[in-house]
Amino acid sequence: MRIRGRVVVVTGASSGIGRATALAFAEHKAGAVVLAARREDALEDLAREVRKAGARTMVVPVDVTDEAAVRELADRAVEEFGRVDVWVNDAAVAVYGSVEELPLQDVRRVLDVDVLGYLHGIRAVLPLMRDRGEGVIVNIASVLSVIPVPYGAPYSMAKAAVLSLAGSVRSELRLEGQKGIHVVSVLPTTVDTPFFHQAGNHTGRRLLAMPPVNAPQRVADAVVDAVRHPRPEIPVGSGAGSLLRAARKHPEKTARAIARHVDTQHLSRRHGAAPTSGNLHRPSPVAADAAVQGGWHGRTRTRVRGVVLAAAAVGGGLAVRHALAG
């Protein structure tokens, strides 16, 4: 699908990957980019950038856990711009902690946003796309859709569900004979966004972006490419493809290696952290949390010895060593 003139809806557009993606579509000459997230002030700021890039836009504050509100988002996009060609499900939250100690209300919130929020988006836009016989739905998943990690069970669970959801929808469309509607899962590795500053944390240790860290613009470019050339899964970032292949071929060995990497690189051993639910239940009021980047670029080339050694253990070590070197 060509990008020029298309109408794109992006959820989770207030920061990080969503914000970068909205800007990328505007820069690639999309006709209109509809911006959705909880923080209206951040969306209004982004809208000015989108207009400056040459696209029309509309701001729709929405919590994706509210299905009626998500349906209204889709309806408003059609009322204003005539149709929806592309829908990007990006709104996501996370909470970290041991399975036994995580507050259950925080776990439920992650699943509500990261799974049901995506389902609500698909249910809202699919009838609109079916009427026209074309469209692309892009779900921002993660390599953690396939690789479970310690202390991140809610997020891993959610992203695994997102991958399965996309596969189920593709199967249903195939049985209907719908060849013009595509559902794509983008699976990035760690991305330099405010995500880790905003996440809930009950580990007692400061959260760090697990290296190697990739620029959010790299993921945004992959989303644009996913619309141009849809395919079921698109790994993005240093080592993504190699890690996914290793995880699917040697799941236990890969999981053990990643677990060690999480313990040494994702959770600080020097800095503690008080328990917090982060932005799970209310948007972050911090202005910097509405940015594209999270200030983790210094970890792009951090040495990742644990995963390098693990890669050799699961075979295909050369490819993974090269990828994880950044």
**pLDDT single digits (tens) 201-220:** 999 999 999 888 999 999 99
Which of the pair, 238 or 110, is modelled with greater confidence? 110
* Residue 196 main-chain phi, psi, to 5 deg: -75, -25
Q: For residue 296, give the nearest of 187, 200, 188, 214 by alpha carbon.
A: 214
Residue 181, Cα to own-chain centre: how many angstroms?
A: 21
pLDDT value at 141 more than 80 = yes
Residue 121 and residue 69: Cα distance in Å, rounded? 10
- The pLDDT tens digits for 24-74 are 999 999 999 999 999 999 999 999 999 999 999 999 999 999 999 999 999
pLDDT band, residue 300 (cuts 50/70/90)? low
Residue 98 tokens, joined? 């041991």
Residues contacting 216, CB < 8 A, separation 6+: 16, 17, 19, 20, 191, 192, 193, 292, 293
Which region among 102-106, 117-121, 191-195, 304-308 has the lowest average model confidence (pLDDT)? 304-308
Please report the pLDDT score of residue 295 as a whole number. Answer: 87
Q: For residue 198, give the nearest of 35, 57, 16 by alpha carbon.
A: 16
4: enclosing H helix or E strand: none
- The pLDDT tens digits for 251-280 are 999 999 999 999 999 999 899 999 999 999
Q: What is the pTM of this model?
A: 0.91
| pLDDT mean over 15-24 | 98
Residues contacting 178, CB < 8 A, separation 6+: 130, 133
Any idea which residues carry the catalytic annotation?
155
- The pLDDT tens digits for 65-100 are 999 999 999 999 999 999 999 999 999 999 999 999
Helix pair angle (305-313, 317-324), 10° resolution: 160
- Each domain of the chain, given as residue ranges in start order, spans 7-324
Strand partners, 11: 36
Q: What is the dihedral of CA 38, 227, 237, 199, to 10 degrees?
A: 10
Residue 241 and residue 19: Cα distance in Å, rounded? 24
pLDDT value at 308 more than 80 = no
pLDDT value at 238 more than 90 = no
What kind of architecture, by CATH, is found in domain 7-324? 3-Layer(aba) Sandwich (3.40)
| pLDDT mean over 152-172 | 98
Residues contacting 93, CB < 8 A, separation 6+: 109, 110, 113, 114, 198, 199, 200, 278, 279, 280
Residue 309 tokens, joined? 């050694």
